[in-house]
Amino acid sequence: MSRPMIDVANLTITFRTGAREVQAVKSISFTVPEGDCFGIVGESGSGKSTVLRALSGLNPDWTGDVVIDGERQGRNRTKSFHKKLQMVFQDPYGSLHPRHTIDRVLDEALTVHGLGDRDARIEQALRDVGLPQSFRFRYPHQLSGGQRQRVAIARALILEPRVLLLDEPTSALDVSVQAEILNLLRRLRAEKGLTYLLVTHNLAVLSNMCDAVAVMRHGEIVETAAMELIRSGTARHAYTRQLLTASRGYDRAAVDLLNL
């Protein structure tokens, strides 16, 4: 069995507004072996994206243990951490600066980390995601949604990370484009030996991508299972079975099974 690349234990995330506290994530634990794709699924507000923000260092308000590639993480992250772990966000329209060319978008991370071979790295990043070199000096508004998401993936890859956190990477795209992006992510994982932590509300996406899945509800993990068990319909928890039923689309008999 591969060694753990991501190891999370008793992760709790609390938000405070004045005297009020809201526990968005409640003492969850999971492990992602090196080279695997691990999925977190749940309805909106279940806490799944909040987990990614804590792991990436965007949200420092957490307690518990987070170990990435054998290194225990604190609230403040180093440059070497961000070179090793990158995040791809949900909205390709909002994650790219509208006044920066694709060249500048990709060059920014290289500048921050003091990396050389700028032209070669940018050209390779575009090749990795299937974009022609002519796109290098275009602006985001000149690209389609799928092309923008390819740029966002290229930006994450340009630092040659070992881990990608994927926050609903296809939910803002048309269905046909979603399939293209998922195929791209599968190919990149195989070619580069990447480890993925993928958050989504769509079990069909997980079924195509993931080795194992954690099901979240109200900030808690209610079930963790190999993806093949979820596919076979042998989920233990009633909420997981509801998600499976909902993922099949509208069906009167299926709706009745939800007991809503």
37 lies in which domain range?
Answer: 33-60+74-226
Q: Is residue 121 part of a domain?
A: yes
CATH number at 104 reads 3.40.50.300
Contact (Cβ atoms closer than 8 angstroms) between residue 8 and residue 28: yes
Q: Is the pTM of this model over 0.75?
A: yes
Q: Is residue 102 part of a domain?
A: yes
Q: Is residue 194 part of a domain?
A: yes
Q: What's the rounded mean pLDDT across residues 126-133? A: 96
Q: Is residue 249 part of a domain?
A: no
Residue 7's DSSP bridge partners are 31, 67
Q: How many other C-beta atoms can be found within 10 angstroms of the C-beta atom of residue 119? A: 11
- Closest by CA to 138, choosing from 111, 103, 170, is 103
Tell whether the model's pLDDT for residue 258 goes beyond 50: no
Q: Is residue 159 part of a domain?
A: yes
Q: Is residue 54 part of a domain?
A: yes
- Of the two residues 233 and 45, the one the predictor is more confident about is 45
- Tally of domains within the chain: 1
The CA distances from residue 93 to 90, 144, 237, in Å, are 9, 9, 36
Contact (Cβ atoms closer than 8 angstroms) between residue 159 and residue 115: yes
d(CA 29, CA 7): 8
Quick one: pLDDT at residue 1? 62
Helices (H) and strands (E) in the chain, counts: 10, 10
Quick one: pLDDT at residue 101? 96
- Provide, rounded to the nearest whole percent, the portion of the chain with pLDDT above 70: 93
Q: What's the rounded mean pLDDT across residues 40-60? A: 92
Lowest mean pLDDT: which of 18-22, 104-108, 217-221?
Answer: 18-22
Spatial CB neighbours of 27, under 8 Å, sequence gap ≥ 6: 10, 11, 12, 64, 220
Contact (Cβ atoms closer than 8 angstroms) between residue 155 and residue 105: yes
Q: Is residue 51 part of a domain?
A: yes
**Token reading at 122:** 């940018």
Quick one: pLDDT at residue 249? 58
Q: Is residue 114 part of a domain?
A: yes
Label residue 254 by pLDDT band (50, 70, 90): very low
Over residues 134-184, the pLDDT tens digits come to: 999 999 999 999 999 999 999 999 999 999 999 999 887 888 899 999 999
**Token reading at 64:** 């518990």
**Token reading at 48:** 């799944």
Quick one: pLDDT at residue 256? 56
Tell whether the model's pLDDT for residue 213 goes beyond 70: yes
d(CA 177, CA 182): 9
Label residue 105 by pLDDT band (50, 70, 90): very high
